[in-house]
Chains A and B, each alone.
Chain A
Amino acid sequence: MTQLFEPAFLARLEMLRLTGAKSIRGNYTGERSSKVVGSSLDFADYRPYVPGDDIRQIDWALYARLQKWMLKTYLDEREMSVSVYLDTSESMVEKKEIAVQLAAALCYTSLYHGDRCAIYSVTEEIHRILPMLQGRKKIPQFFSKLQQLHFAGRGDVGNAFATAKGLPQQAGCSIFITDGFFQTGWEKSLLRLQASHQQVILLQVVAKEEREPSYSGDLRLIDSESTEAKEIAISPYAQTLYRERFQKYIQQLEKWCLNRGIRYLFVPAEEAVETICFTLFREVGILR
C-alpha cells in the first residue's frame, strides 16, 4: 500500500467518497442512500396500511388526526458497485503510473466507504482483474493487483465492450481510465456501459508529449499499438496544427460525454495524483 500512496494521502482520501448523480440501486445493504425503500432513518413517504404490514410502522399520530391507518416508509441504504476499467494497451505505457494511482485511489475510496468494487483491464478485450469485492480488508489486494498490471498490446475499445462479458452485472458506477485515442466504436462502448445501468465516468489521461509534441523534422511516426507507421515532415507549423487539432478532439469528446450524461475529466499525466484527487475530482464532483 505504501508503494502507491503515502499514509497522509490515504488519510485525506478517506474523507472523500465517490458520488453518483442519481440514487443508487444496489442489491445489498450498504452505507449509501438508495431509491429503494428500506430501513434507514431517512423518511421517504407515507402509504396506506395493507394487511400483512408490520403494525409497528403505523403512524398513530396521523391515525389520530385522519382516522386512517398510514404507514411511514424510509429510504433504504445500499452499497454501490464501482467498476474501474483501466486501459492497459501499449499507448498507456507512458501514463501507467498515474493511471494505476488514479484507479487505486478510486478503489480505495469506494472500498473504504463500504462500496463494492471491481477492476477490469481493457485492451482488445476486457479482462476482469478482480471481481466485485467489498470491505476495507480487500484494499491491499486491489493495490497489489493494480501494481501488477501489465500494459501491452493493442487497444480496441469498440471490440472490448462489444460483448456482455466485460459489462457490469449490477447497476452502479463505471469509471473508464484511458488516454482516449480511440480509433472506432468508442461511442457505442460508452453507451453500452450506460445501458448497463452504469453511471459512467471517463477519465482521459494524456501526456504532455501527446498534447504538445516537441519532436520535429522528417519522422516516421510509429503507432505503439498498431505499429502502423506514418511518414510526416513535422514543422513548427505542423506542430501548431497538431495542438489545435488535439484541442478540438478533446472538446468534441467532452461535448459528446456531456450530451449523454457521462462525466468527463481531462487529466494531464504529469499532474500530481494529490492535485487530481483533491482538486480536479472535487471540482467536477467525482469525489466529495
Chain B
Amino acid sequence: MQVLQPYSFLLLAYLLPAILLLYLLKRRYQDRVISSNLLWQRLFEDLEANRPWKKFQHHLLLWLQLLVAILLVFALSRPSLPADTIRTSSAIIVIDISGSMLAKEGKQTRLEIARQKVRSFIDHKDSDQQITLIAAGRVPRLLISQSDQESELMNVLDQLQPELGSSDLDAALSFAHALTTATNQSEILLVSDGASLSKQPASLPHRSIQIGSAKPNVAIGASSLEENEGKQELFVRVDQYGKVKNQVAVSVHDLQGNLLATQSLTMENETSQEVHFSQLPDQPVYQLDIRPIYDALAQDNRRYQMKTFQKKYPVHMLGSPSIFLQKVFSLSDQLELSTNPLTSNEGFSVVNGGNQWANQPALYFSTQLQGLANSKSSIHTAVSGQIENTTPHMIGEGLNFGELSVANLSPVRVPDWADVILQIEGKPLLVAGEYQGKRVVLFPFDLEKSDLALKPYFPVLMMQIAHWLVPELDAGAKESVPDETVEVKVPPATNEIQLSGFMQGKRRVIQGKVKIRLPEAVGLLKMTAVGAKHPFYFIRVGFPENESNLNLQKITTTPLVLHDQTLQGKQEFWWWLTWLVIIVVTWEWVVFKRGY
C-alpha cells in the first residue's frame, strides 16, 4: 500500500492533540442532582479519575472522535493499493486470441480469463481514460480505437472470438506501438498466455499480463498413410507437452464413425511416441482421436488422415506425334502417356491434327475439327501478335502470354457450349467448353506451325488444360488453415456442390470452380457434387502444431516512464475510508444521543 499525499499525516500531529485538548478544556457537563454523591466521590478517589488521562480511558465518544480524525487524515493522504488499472490517459490492450488461449484453466478457457482481466481494466478506468483494443490473431486486428465508453468496450470484448491458429504477437505489438505515436502517452498492455512463443517480440509491451499456468497437453503431432499390398498402414505421432505421466488412448474411425483400430500409450514427460496401425481397410479418410487423462486443450485431439497417394490418369496421344506434347504430359506424376485407346472416361486424349472427335475429354490441335472448323472460310492465316485473354478461365489463370506467332491459324465457328479463352488479332486462338459431358479444348492451328511450344508458359498451360479436362487430378484432399479462402475444381457437369462436416451449405460452381471461405474451426470439410453419393473432395483444417505447447514463457516488458505520477496503476480507496468515517460519525451521534 502507498499513500499519494503522505504529508497529510502531519495533520494528525495537530488534530489529535487538539481533540484531546478540547476534551480537557471544553467539556460540557450536564447538571444532575442526586441524593448523595458520596459513593461517586469515593469512586473518583479510588480511580484517581480526576487525572486527565484517566478521564479519557473509558470515554467512548472521545475515542470515536479520535478515530474519525485518523480516518479523515488517512483518506486525505490518498492511500492506494496496487491494482490492475491502466496508468495513462490512454491505453492499448493487445489480447492474444491464438489457439493456445483455448486451453482450459479450471472451468474457464484462458481467453475467458483474459476477457475478465480486460473487463477489470475497463471497470477500474477513470471516465476520461481511453482504451484501444487489438486482437492478436494471425494478423493483428483493431477492435476498437480510443474509446472511453465502457459499454462499447465491453461489447467489443464480448464479441471477441479465438482464432485457431498462431498469433503474430510481434505484428500486433508493432501495430500498438505505431498507434501510440498518435497519442501523447499510451501504455501498451499485452494480455497473453505467452505459450508457443518462439522468440521475444521485437516490440515490447509496457506491461504483460500472463494468463494461465503450465498445463499438460497431448496432441496428434503428425500422421501419414501408406499402402502396403492393398492394405493401408497408418502412422500417428502423439506429442506430450508438460511434465506428467499420461495415459493416452489412440483410436481410428472411418467417416461413418466405425471404430477401425485402437491402441493405448503411456507417455512420460515431454515425449513423442509413434503409433502404427496396419491392415486398415481402405477408406478415403481416417479419423484419428486421442483421449489423454491429463489434457488442457481438446482442439488438438482429433486429426483426419486422407489418402494422399496419387492415382495415374492415362493420356492417349492421337494424331501426329509431338515431342513437345509427349514431354509436357510425361512431366506429371499423375499422368501416364498411353498409346492404347481409353476404355473409360478417366484421363483424356491429345489429338494433334485430324478432324475426328475423341470419345473422351480431349485437347485438340486441329484446323479441321468437325463442327468447329469454319467450312465457309477455310483459309488459314498467319498471325503474329499479342495474345489477348478474352474470358477469365482457369486454363489461362496466372499466365502472362505475351506475343505468339502462328503460321496457319484456322477460323473457328464457336458453338454455344464453348468460350473463346484466348485470341490473337481478334481471331480465336484457344476455345474451351463442355460438350455432352466431356470437356474439350481446341487450338485451331498446328502446334508445329507456331512457336507456342517454345514459350516458357507452355508446360504450365498444358498442365492447366490437363487439370481442367480431368478435374479428378485435383480431386482428393487438401490441407488448409481456418479462415482461409480455398478454391476447388469441381468435376464436369457439376453446377452446385454440397458442403458437409464443420461447414454446411451449398455453393454454386463458377467456371468449374468453387471458392470457399473456411470458418474459424478445425475438422474435415466434405464436398459432394449435388446428386452424387460420395464426396469428391476433402479439406482438412488442422490445429497448428505449435499452439499445442501450453508451457508459458515470460514476455519481456519495457518500462513506461510516466509524465503524470498520479496515475501509477494503483487503486485509491479513500472513498471507502470516507464511508467508514460516515459510519463512525453516525455511531458517534448515536452514542451522543444515548448520553454515552
- List B contacts of A209 (CB < 8 A): 34
Would B596 and A242 count as touching, CB distance under 8 A? no
Total A-B pairs, Cβ < 8 A: 100
Other-chain residue from B38, B39, B596 in contact with A234 (beta carbon distance below 8 A): B596
Q: A9 interface residue, CB < 8 Å from B?
A: no
Q: A181 interface residue, CB < 8 Å from B?
A: yes
Interface flags for A33-77 (1: CB within 8 Å of B; 0: not) read 000000000000000000000000000000000000000000000
A237 to B59, CA, bound (A): 9
Contact stretch, chosen from B24-32, B144-152, B234-242, B273-281: B24-32
Interface flags for B19-43 (1: CB within 8 Å of A; 0: not) read 0000000011111111111111111
Contact stretch, chosen from B44-52, B244-252, B300-308: B44-52
Smallest beta-carbon distance B461→chain A, Å:
106
Would B43 and A242 count as touching, CB distance under 8 A? yes
Would A233 and B55 count as touching, CB distance under 8 A? yes
A173 to B116, CA, bound (A): 92
- List A contacts of B398 (CB < 8 A): none
Other-chain residue from B32, B38, B58 in contact with A222 (beta carbon distance below 8 A): B32
A220 to B28, CA, bound (A): 9
Q: A7 interface residue, CB < 8 Å from B?
A: no
A209 to B35, CA, bound (A): 9
A94 to B33, CA, bound (A): 12
A219 to B28, CA, bound (A): 8
A207 to B32, CA, bound (A): 16
Would A216 and B596 count as touching, CB distance under 8 A? yes
Residues A183 and B38 in contact in the complex (CB < 8 Å), given A220-B29, A235-B58, A242-B43: yes
Q: B139 interface residue, CB < 8 Å from A?
A: no
Would B36 and A181 count as touching, CB distance under 8 A? yes
Q: In the complex, which residues 172-223 of chain A have their Cβ closer than 8 Å to any Cβ of chain B? A: 179, 181-183, 207, 209-210, 213, 215-223
Q: B382 interface residue, CB < 8 Å from A?
A: no
Q: B259 interface residue, CB < 8 Å from A?
A: no
Interface flags for A229-245 (1: CB within 8 Å of B; 0: not) read 11111111110011001
Would A181 and B59 count as touching, CB distance under 8 A? no
Residues A241 and B47 in contact in the complex (CB < 8 Å), given A230-B37, A233-B55, A235-B58: yes
Would A249 and B39 count as touching, CB distance under 8 A? yes
- List B contacts of A219 (CB < 8 A): 29-32
Would B32 and A228 count as touching, CB distance under 8 A? no
A91 to B36, CA, bound (A): 6
A249 to B42, CA, bound (A): 10
Chain A residue nearest in CB terms to B29: A220
Residue with the greatest number of chain B CB neighbours at <10 A, chosen from A223, A233, A245, A249: A233
Other-chain residue from A210, A216, A236, A238 in contact with B36 (beta carbon distance below 8 A): A210
Would A235 and B43 count as touching, CB distance under 8 A? no
Smallest beta-carbon distance A190→chain B, Å:
17
A210 to B39, CA, bound (A): 9
Chain B residue nearest in CB terms to A91: B35
A94 to B31, CA, bound (A): 18
Interface flags for B379-418 (1: CB within 8 Å of A; 0: not) read 0000000000000000000000000000000000000000
A207 to B40, CA, bound (A): 15
Residues A179 and B43 in contact in the complex (CB < 8 Å), given A218-B27, A235-B58: no
Smallest beta-carbon distance B33→chain A, Å:
5
Would B30 and A218 count as touching, CB distance under 8 A? yes
A207 to B60, CA, bound (A): 28
- List A contacts of B46 (CB < 8 A): 241, 245
Other-chain residue from B40, B60, B596 in contact with A221 (beta carbon distance below 8 A): B40
Q: In the complex, which residues 51-66 of chain B have their Cβ closer than 8 Å to any Cβ of chain A? A: 55, 58-60
Other-chain residue from B33, B39, B55, B60 in contact with A242 (beta carbon distance below 8 A): B39
Chain B residue nearest in CB terms to A223: B37
Residues A235 and B596 in contact in the complex (CB < 8 Å), given A220-B31, A222-B31, A245-B42: yes
- List B contacts of A181 (CB < 8 A): 35-36, 38-39
Smallest beta-carbon distance A156→chain B, Å:
13
Would A230 and B40 count as touching, CB distance under 8 A? yes
- List B contacts of A218 (CB < 8 A): 27-30
Q: A29 interface residue, CB < 8 Å from B?
A: no
A209 to B37, CA, bound (A): 12
Would B36 and A232 count as touching, CB distance under 8 A? no
Smallest beta-carbon distance B280→chain A, Å:
89
- List B contacts of A5 (CB < 8 A): none
- List A contacts of B559 (CB < 8 A): none
Q: B531 interface residue, CB < 8 Å from A?
A: no
Q: B106 interface residue, CB < 8 Å from A?
A: no
Q: A283 interface residue, CB < 8 Å from B?
A: no
Q: Which residues in A have some Cβ–Cβ distance to B below 8 Å?
A: 90-94, 179, 181-183, 207, 209-210, 213, 215-225, 228-238, 241-242, 245-246, 249
Q: Across chains A and B, which 7 residue pairs bring their CB atoms closest together, nearest first?
A: A181-B36, A216-B596, A91-B35, A220-B29, A217-B595, A237-B58, A235-B58
Query: Could you list 17 A-B pairs, sorted by A, with CB under 8 Å?
Result: A91-B36, A92-B35, A181-B39, A207-B35, A216-B595, A216-B596, A217-B30, A218-B30, A222-B37, A225-B35, A229-B31, A233-B58, A235-B59, A235-B60, A242-B43, A249-B39, A249-B42
